[in-house]
Chains A and B, each alone.
Chain A
Amino acid sequence: MSIAQAGLIAVLFSVGTFLVLHRSLTRIILGIGLLGNAVNLLILTSGSVPDGVPILGTGSDPADFTDPVPQALVLTAIVIGLAIVAFLLSMAYRSWTIDGNDVVEDDLSDRRIAAEPDVDEDFGEET
């Protein structure tokens, strides 16, 4: 891994986190897309050093191959990332058709507990 790659990972993670922390569902999905890219890059670069392409018979010596295992892992991850983004997008679409927006709302019962911590709601009345 090089400093340049580490810098790219930092930027991708920062921007991805920033977007995920939004309330708009589409922005969150964009953030998840970026975070997916960032994680893929992280696995690939921290697991291998750039070297010969791991394909036999292309001239380079198998001893000089770069590590193929992170590549195989990341390849799977890329495809699953697509599935996740597609699913989230259709959720955003559904949310839009129902509510007319794609904002992630606060949980109301949690809000109520936060507002009135001393009100005890759970105990039944004497019968």
Chain B
Amino acid sequence: MLILLIVYAAVAAVCLIGHRRLDRVAFPLSTVPHIVTFAWLISVAPSVLDGDPMVASIDWVGQLGLSIDLRLDGFGLLMGLLVTGVGALVTVYSSGYFSESYERARIAGLLGVFAAAMLGLVWSDGLLTLFVFWELTSVASFLLIGTDDRSATARAAALRALLVTGIGGLSLLAGLVLLGIAGGTTTISGLLAADPSGGVVPAALVLVLVGTATKSAQFPFQFWLPGAMAAPTPVSAYLHSATMVKAGIVVVARLAPTFADVAVWRPIIVVCGLGSVLLGGVRSMRQQDAKLALAHGTVSQLGLIMILVGLGTPATTYAGVAVLLAHALFKASWFLAVGAVDHATGTRDLRRIRGVRRFGVLATAVVLAAASMAAIPPTFGFVTKEGALEALIEGGAGWPGTLALVGVVLGSLLTVAYTIRLALGVLGDGTIAADAIDPEHLHRPGPVLVGPPALLALLGLAAGLAAGPVGAWLARVAASLDPASGGRELYLWHGFTPALGLSAFALIGGGALWWSTRAATATTDAPRSLSTIAYDRGYEGVLSGSRRVTGVTQSGSLPLYLGIVLLSVAAAAGAALATHAGSFDWSAVPLANSPLEVVACGATALSALAVAVARQRFAAALALGGSGYLLALVFLLQGAPDLAVTQFLVETVTIAVYLLVLARLPQRFSAAPDWAPLGVRIAVSVVIGLSVAGFALQASTARTDPSVAEEYIARSEPEAGGRNVVNVIIVDFRGFDTMGEITVLAIAGAGVINLVAAARREQRRKQLLDGTDVKDLSGRAPEVWR
């Protein structure tokens, strides 16, 4: 399995890197991994479906117990076949769909990346592996939606999809981690076996459901999916109908049989699912763009699948798997067909499309896909819808199941209505005169564009006719989710049952609904849904909020920044000190170690204060030097003659440097506007000084272990042959530190030389300017000297 994922990634990488050179061959090339994987899946299918999953695992971060765990069971097999099968058809279709104006190699590469991530997602057993692949599909989706990166709409749609699914992904991660902790495991199979309950489990499940709802475009997060239609149609067919949006359903399907009985699970599933079913259905009827109508229809259908797999009874799980397959077949077929229509007629507007009937194969594909979508016998759509109604009637999921049944019937009714409208719109002749369609443009789409949708639509019909064998096969798939789902069957005809009655009701009601609304002028600018508005408000709020925060915190004033940073440090340290001030042992610190120390410290402090009050640079520099010399005395009294000597010498050099530089600067400090009144600045400084002093006092009494010095002192003479321990540490024990110090000195020296040389050049240039006769009234240097 891993090898296949690597092959995918390698082909995708070749496409992405090869770019221009591979433009023509990118799509044929990227079909190869799909076909290879599809064939491999078929070859391993018998053993996998017999309940013998394939497992692969490699260590990732061993210390953290992280590994990449893959597990191919029956459900993973079905999803894998969908990803690779639809993937192969979509790449073939793409080779005819994308003209030379597209960056074909890039799109092919990204589709390959996505396919690899999606396969990893449906096969992953590790909780974190699942999350990583989950996010990879989000990223691939973002890049593919934004294919037309010069359009602001496409960019915004891509960003919206990424943000919504990305935030959902974080929620999923939190939920999975909590579940993993509760179950004491890092794998899904382990989690299901452990079946943790109580404690954090309900909260974790809510987080997981939020994540799955964002990914599968469920109410109230459905709004990103229609926007994602900014992606090229093959991409939409692949990611946003057949595969990626099923990711949430995959996770729900795996967890539901075990966790559906937790109190929070079913109500959330049913509310989100029904919201999507009804909202998607109603909105689909209002669209003029065939692709958008399909997108809203997808939201509706995903809601149905979510309800079925989410209710988690054996019957609904089985029905959910069947509907999932049916939906992938007819919806991908629909999308590809609409793409072909768009290609042939140049429009996707239901009011403008005309002449499609003449393209026999394409029109047949549309009819078949529509029949399957509207659940008209004998298509697979009908068979699975019947199965779904049967399962819901069978019950076992309490009141949410009953509510779901009502909602699903209403949703089916809506589905019938919008399907009729869509099919007639595509096949009929548009009501708006052909002003938008260039007759020249109308051309028969090639076999590459018609073949894939026709094949998918035919499969939908064939699976319906062969409901028995297909149903038995799906039962073995569903058994991997819930053993109790095994052994079930699908029927094309199973007598006059309540389910048949409901189907008929949905068909007739849907037809009637379409008839009564057929004249209603649908509007292209439907009102934005509440969740879209909420998203937009939230997004703008975050942007402007962050700009405001930036404006306040990043005022551009360096002293202000410094003040804030220092005060934060003082506040953090000060708070800790203040809380422990009561327990401080004042007897541990003497007032002074000697009378002379008081004098030395006092003089140093006075000299330092003089630096602050000095108005002239020279006076300030001399006061600084004085304070430094006096500090050397403090060092000496502390028992550190080496330090005292060094401080004395360094201070001398420092003063020399100061005087050298200050001699070239004006006497007084430049008068610059202050960022805060004097009192505030003094207060800030005093607070910081006091908190540091408090910290120093606390630290000096905090030693718990003896110093390392004993070892240094003991080894000083025998090992280094030196008596001055400080000296030995510097030149011997810690010799490399000293080398680093010398390096710093050398670099600083080089910097000084450079800066001074540059300043000299500048001065010479100015002198040259002043001395010559250049009449430049602007006062700026002539070009020659710049």
Contact = CB atoms under 8 A, between A and B. Distances in A.
Contact of A110 (B554, B594, B708): B554
A42, A54, A97, A114: residue with the most chain B Cβ atoms closer than 10 Å: A54
A1 B589 CA distance: 6
Contacts of B729: 68-69, 72
A116 B594 CA distance: 59
A115 B551 contact: yes
Interface in A67-100: 67-69, 71-72, 74-76, 78-87, 89-94, 96-98
Contact of B550 (A30, A41, A93, A117): A117
Interface string B463-480: 000000000000000000
Contacts of A106: 555-558
Contact of B752 (A86, A108, A118): A86
Interface string A4-30: 111111111111111111111011001
B150 interface: yes
A59 to B, nearest CB: 12
Contact of A89 (B150, B657, B737, B738): B657
B741 interface: yes
B758 A118 contact: no
Given A42-B692, A50-B637, A4 B597 contact: yes
B179 interface: no
B184 interface: no
A45 B696 contact: yes
A117 B692 contact: no
Given A23-B674, A78-B643, A101-B670, A2 B752 contact: no
Contacts of A120: 543, 547
Nearest to B690: A10
A103 B594 CA distance: 43
B697 A1 contact: yes
A39 B653 CA distance: 20
B194 interface: no
Nearest to B750: A87
Contacts of B621: 30
Contact of A55 (B550, B724, B751): B724
Contacts of A40: 631, 643, 647
Contacts of B685: 13-15, 17-18, 21
Contacts of B609: 11, 15
Contacts of B551: 113-115, 117
A7 B643 contact: no
B586 to A, nearest CB: 9
A45 B600 CA distance: 14
B462 interface: no
Interface stretch (B393-401, B445-453, B510-518, B709-717): B709-717
Interface stretch (B19-27, B427-435, B559-567): B559-567
B611 interface: yes
A56 B723 CA distance: 5
Contact of A90 (B563, B756, B763): B756
A8 B604 contact: yes
B641 to A, nearest CB: 6
A97 to B, nearest CB: 4
B608 interface: yes
Contact of A126 (B151, B662, B741): B151
B593 interface: yes
Given A75-B730, A115-B551, A103 B665 contact: no
Interface string A47-62: 1111111111100001
B689 A10 contact: yes
Interface string B638-679: 111111001100100110011001101100011011110000
Contacts of B589: 1-3, 6
Interface string B717-747: 1000001111001100010011001001100
B605 A8 contact: yes
Contacts of B696: 1, 6, 9, 42, 45-46
B669 A50 contact: no
A8 to B, nearest CB: 4
B725 A65 contact: yes
A16, A51, A83, A110: residue with the most chain B Cβ atoms closer than 10 Å: A83
Contacts of B688: 13-14, 17
Contacts of B749: 83, 86
A44 B700 CA distance: 10
B643 to A, nearest CB: 6
Interface string B112-129: 000000000000000000
B44 to A, nearest CB: 49
B193 interface: no
B657 A78 contact: no
B723 A57 contact: yes
Contacts of B590: 2-3
B598 interface: yes
B2 interface: no
A11 B689 CA distance: 6
B624 interface: yes
B222 interface: no
B589 to A, nearest CB: 6
A72 B665 contact: no
A86 B657 contact: yes
A69 B708 contact: yes
Given A50-B639, A52-B639, A101-B670, A5 B608 contact: no
A69 B728 CA distance: 11
B704 interface: no
A67 B639 CA distance: 9
A82 B654 contact: yes
Contact of B686 (A14, A38, A124): A14
B627 interface: yes
A20 B563 CA distance: 9
B591 interface: yes
A119 to B, nearest CB: 8
Nearest to B675: A23
Contact of A10 (B563, B612, B692): B692
Interface in B119-158: 150-152
A80 B745 contact: yes
B759 interface: yes
Contacts of B594: 50
Given A69-B712, A69-B729, A114 B650 contact: no
A97 B548 contact: no
Given A10-B690, A86-B748, A5 B556 contact: no
Contact of B725 (A12, A20, A55): A55
B738 A76 contact: yes
Given A3-B589, A66-B640, A113-B551, A102 B665 contact: yes
Given A24-B670, A97-B762, A102-B665, A34 B751 contact: no
A18 B681 CA distance: 6
Given A18-B685, A54-B725, A10 B558 contact: no
A8 B592 CA distance: 11
B488 interface: no
A82 to B, nearest CB: 5
B661 A92 contact: yes
Contacts of A57: 723
A6, A15, A26, A33: residue with the most chain B Cβ atoms closer than 10 Å: A15
Q: 10 tightest CB-CB pairs across the interface, nearest first? A: A110-B556, A14-B689, A107-B556, A83-B748, A10-B693, A23-B672, A1-B700, A114-B551, A18-B685, A66-B639
Given A45-B700, A47-B700, 10 more contacts: A14-B690, A21-B685, A26-B665, A41-B631, A55-B723, A71-B726, A75-B730, A78-B650, A96-B664, A102-B665
19 contacts: A4-B601, A12-B605, A41-B634, A46-B700, A50-B637, A67-B707, A68-B709, A69-B709, A72-B729, A72-B734, A78-B647, A82-B650, A83-B744, A90-B759, A94-B756, A96-B759, A97-B759, A102-B670, A106-B555
